[in-house]
Amino acid sequence: MPAHPYKVAMEVASLVPNTEVTIYPWKDSQKHIDEVVEHARRFLKAHEPVTAGRQGRVQPG
The pLDDT tens digits for 1-34 are 656 788 898 999 999 999 988 888 899 999 999 9
How far apart (Å, rounded) are the C-alpha atoms in residues 53 and 47? 16
Domain count within the chain: 1
Query: Which pLDDT does position 1 carry in this prediction?
Result: 60
Position with higher pLDDT, 19 vs 51:
19
Q: Is residue 56 part of a domain?
A: no
Give the domain extent around 2: 1-8+18-39
Which pTM was predicted? 0.63
How far apart (Å, rounded) are the C-alpha atoms in residues 30 and 22? 15
How far apart (Å, rounded) are the C-alpha atoms in residues 51 and 4? 33
- Residue 58 clears pLDDT 70, i.e. is over it: no
Q: Is residue 48 part of a domain?
A: no
What average pLDDT does this structure show over 43-49?
A: 93
